[in-house]
Amino acid sequence: MVTDRTNILLITSDQQHWNTLGINNPEIQTPNLDRLANSGTTFNRTYCPNPTCTPTRASIVTGQYPSQHGAYSLGTKLLEDRHTVGEDFLQSGYRTSLVGKAHFQPLRESEEFSSLESYPILQDLNFWRNFDQSFYGFEHVELARNHTDEAHVGQHYAIWMEEKGGHNWRDYFRPPTGNNANQHRKWLIPEEFHYNTWIAERTNRLLDQYHQSDDNFFLWASFFDPHPKYLVPEPWNTMYNSAHLTVPSVVEGEHDRNPPHFQMTQQKNPDFSAYRESGQGIHGCHSHLHDPEELVKDIAIYYGMISMMDHYIGRIVDHLDSLGLAENTLIVFTSDHGHFYGHHGLTAKGPYHYEDVIRVPMIVRQPGKVPAGKTSNALQSLVDYAPTFLSCAGIRIPYSMTGHNQSRVWYDEAEQLERDHVIVENRHEPTTIHLKTYIEDRYKITVYYNQPYGELFDLEADPKELNNLWNDPDSANLKAELTAKFLAAQLGMEPLPMPRISGA
C-alpha cells in the first residue's frame, strides 16, 4: 500500500430520509453512524442528482448528471461505454470492488440493450459463481438486486446464503422463488442470513485481503435498506413503539397551488394514464392516501431497518479501524435518495421534489484530515463524489466529470464553499414527467418541460415547503431571477471532454 495515498470506503443506504440519524432525530437510534459523525463531519445539505436509484447510482460512479451519462430513469441502463471513476482508480494501481446493490441496469433487457441484472440471468447462480468480469470499473463485485423479500433475489447473495448453510433460503422470499408472500413487517429470515450480515461480512473480508496484500482500495458497501417494503427480522421489528413516533402528514390546502400530479396523489382513484407516455409505470404516480395508524407501524419498521443497518455499518467501520486503516481511509456515508413517510401526504418516492426525497444524510470521516464533530451546511451533490474521491486520492480528474471537487470543503481547507447551488433532475417520460430543480442557499425552483406550472419555495421563511410561490404576483421578480440562475447553471454543467489547447 502506498501509505501517502488515501483509500476510499463508500457506504450507502437506499432510500433513507435525511433526518433519520440519531444525532438529529431523538426518535431513532443509530449509535454507529452517530459515532462516525462525532469523529467526522456531517453535511446537512446534501442532494441526490435524481430521486430514484439507477440515475443517482450511475451519477456516483460517473461524476455526471443523469442527463449526461444517459441512465436518466429507472428502466434504463448505464451504457458500458460510459467512463467510471473505478477505471481511474484501477489505472492508478488501486483495487476496486462493490458489495451489495448496483442497479446500473434494468430488470428486463431488450434486443438492443442487454442487462446482467435482469431475468433469467439474475437467478442463474452458476453464472454468478463463475463471474469474473470487471463491472463498471469495479474489478470485483458481489451483487444482489432484491429489497427485503422481493422475488429478484439471486446473484452472489443467494450463493452466500447457501455457503452459510441456508439451503432453504427460498422460503424467505416471495414467489416465484419463495412461498412467504404474506410476510408483513416481521421478516422471518434469520439475521445470520440477512443481506446486512452478508454485506458486512464480505466487505470486511475484502478489507482483510487488501490489508494483507498492502493494496490501496476503492470499496463500495452498498446496503439495500431502508427501501420498502417495510420488513425486518427479529428483534429489530419490535425495537420501536409506534405510539412514541411522530407521523408526518399533509397540511390541508397545501397542494392547491401545486402542479396537477401533486393534487392527484390525494385522490382515491386518480387517473395518471396521460402521464405514462412510454407505457411504463412511474414511481409515485398513484394515490398516496393511507391509513395513519398503519403508516406509523410502517415507520417503526422503517426505523428498525435503519437501526439494524447501522449495527452492521458499525461492524465494517470497527473492522477497518482494527486493521489500522482509519487515518489512511476516507469514509463517506450517504443514501442514494430520500423517502416520504407521510410528508405532504406522500409515501415512498416520486416526481415531487420536496427536501424529503431529494435531500440525503451524509457523513465524512478521515481522522487528522476531516474535522471531527463538525456540522456543515455547505451544499453537496452526489454527482460530486467521483471527482472528489479522485482528488482525495491524488488522481487526476477527467475533464468529462461535471461534478465539483469538494475535497477542500470536506477537509475544511476552503476559504469559500465549492457550490452556490445544486441541480436535481427527474425524467421518466418525454414531456409529462420531465422536471429539474435548482436549489441555492435560501430558494428552490422547479421547472417542467413544456408545462406552465412549477414550484418556487422559500426554504428560510417556509422550511416545510407549504407555500408554493410560483404564481404569486409578489414573487414574480424572484421567479425571474431564479429562472435566469437556473439557465446559467444548466450552461455551466455541460461536460468538456478536453480543454481548449489551440486557437484553431
Alpha carbon 345 to its chain centroid, in Å, reads 22
Model confidence at 167, pLDDT cuts 50, 70, 90, reads: very high
pLDDT for 136 beyond 90: yes
Model confidence at 234, pLDDT cuts 50, 70, 90, reads: very high
Residue-range definition of the domain harbouring residue 380: 7-248+297-418
Closest CA to 287 of 271, 273, 267, 272: 267
Q: What pLDDT shows up at residue 414? A: 83
Is 470 a domain residue? no
Q: What pLDDT shows up at residue 4? A: 81
pLDDT for 181 beyond 80: no
Tell me, letter by letter, the H, E, C secondary structure of 379-418.
CEEHHHHHHHHHHHCCCCCCCCCCCCCCHHHHCCCCCCCC
- Looking up cell 483509500, which residue turns up? 7
Is 181 a domain residue? yes
Is 371 a domain residue? yes
pLDDT for 430 beyond 90: no
Is 319 a domain residue? yes
Stretch 393-406: mean pLDDT, rounded?
A: 97
Q: Which domain CATH number covers 391?
A: 3.40.720.10
Is 189 a domain residue? yes
Model confidence at 2, pLDDT cuts 50, 70, 90, reads: low
Residues 6+ apart with CB under 8 A from 133: none
Please write the tens of the pLDDT for every residue from 258-315: 999 999 999 999 999 999 998 888 999 999 999 999 999 999 999 999 999 999 999 9
Stretch 318-332: mean pLDDT, rounded?
A: 98
Q: What pLDDT shows up at residue 314? A: 98
Tell me, letter by letter, the H, E, C secondary structure of 365-376.
ECCCCCCCCEEE
Q: What pLDDT shows up at residue 281? A: 85
pLDDT for 194 beyond 70: yes
Q: What pLDDT shows up at residue 182? A: 76
Is 258 a domain residue? no
Stretch 192-213: mean pLDDT, rounded?
A: 98
Stretch 50-76: mean pLDDT, rounded?
A: 97
Is 194 a domain residue? yes
Is 72 a domain residue? yes
197-203: long-range contacts at Cβ-Cβ below 8 A with a sequence spacing of 24 or more? Answer: 197/312, 198/144, 198/157, 198/160, 198/161, 199/99, 199/100, 199/223, 199/312, 200/312, 200/313, 200/315, 200/316, 201/160, 202/99, 202/142, 202/156, 202/160, 203/99, 203/316
Q: What is the pTM of this model?
A: 0.97
Q: What pLDDT shows up at residue 72? A: 96
Q: What DSSP letter does each residue of 411-453 carry, written as one string?
A: TT--SS-S-S-EEEEEESSSSTTEEEEEE-SSEEEEEETT-S-
pLDDT for 178 beyond 90: no
User: What Rg do the C-alpha atoms of the chain give, in angstroms?
Assistant: 22
How many domains is the chain built from? 1
Stretch 394-399: mean pLDDT, rounded?
A: 97
- 360/338 Cα distance (integer angstroms): 6
Q: Taking every pair of C-alpha atoms in the chain, what is the biggest distance, in angstroms?
A: 70
Whether the Cβ atoms of residue 18 and residue 46 lie closer than 8 Å to each other: yes
Whether the Cβ atoms of residue 358 and residue 352 lie closer than 8 Å to each other: no
- 264/465 Cα distance (integer angstroms): 18
pLDDT for 128 beyond 70: yes
